[in-house]
Structure 1
Amino acid sequence: MNNAWEVRRQLLAYNGLRADRDELLRILKGRDQDIRPGRSCSDGMPRQQGGIPRSSVEGAAIRREEELEELLGKLEQINRQLEPIEKALAMLHWRERQIIRKTFFSMEGDDKSNAAELGMPEREFNRIKFLALQHMSAFKNIVNLKEGRF
């Protein structure tokens, strides 16, 4: 039973990491949309003529590159943390995976409403959820063992 609680804790952490990954991807996607080529003068003209000194432009470009590398590093770290859980989820039966996603990823409703939404009795829902947590624990251990993470 202790393994099931550990898997539950990891699934809740996984949910948070997925949200962080989605936020980073959103930031990276809209990253260069604030640059307006028609309005920014990066040719090193003096300030009185409406330009930005070249050193300011170079400094901004260097800062943007450092931010990009930092964001990509965070994204890579999150992906490394998510990989074993995603592989274990992929090994589950589709019905188990559906119940795990409904229970731990949505965080909405209780078991009774989730079971009704999936069209099954609550007792069956809880039985499959329990088995899915046990399988997740076993599959995650197999994935970690194969990749030498113990």
Structure 2
Amino acid sequence: MTDTGLRAVVVERDFDHPPEKVWRALTDPDLVAEWLMKNDFRPEVGRTFTLKGEWGGDLDCEVLTVEPHRRLAYSWNFDSDQAAFALKSVVTFTLSPTEGGTRLRMEQEGFRHDQKQAYGGARAGWPQFFDALEQVLTRLP
């Protein structure tokens, strides 16, 4: 494998909920807005959508992979005039059934080494997003 010089953030967590329920929270735009960001998402390969960050920035995204109850991937891009802030990355969610529910693995890849702030933000942010996701899952029937 060739070293591209890019880094990734990986977060894994076990949820006490079945993969179908976790999938719903990952793909229903109203639920995604509750734990991640406001959006116009639909789980259709090739669909472009926007995630609206609370900081006032928008992320331009495109759905790359939809494997119901198993895998979801989309681009996660932020344009900026400043190279250190411009980000072109891919977020992939992988769901694996466990005895008690679902193991969710999120990998965001594509951070350049000069993007210390974006990389650090993702490392701090994704666990918080997962905390919010847990809250959404807990209240869903």
TM (norm. structure 2) is 0.31
Kindly indicate which of the two structures has a greater share of residues assigned to strand. Answer: 2
* Structure label with greater radius of gyration: 1
Normalised by the length of structure 1, the TM-score is: 0.29
Q: Which has the higher helix share?
A: 1
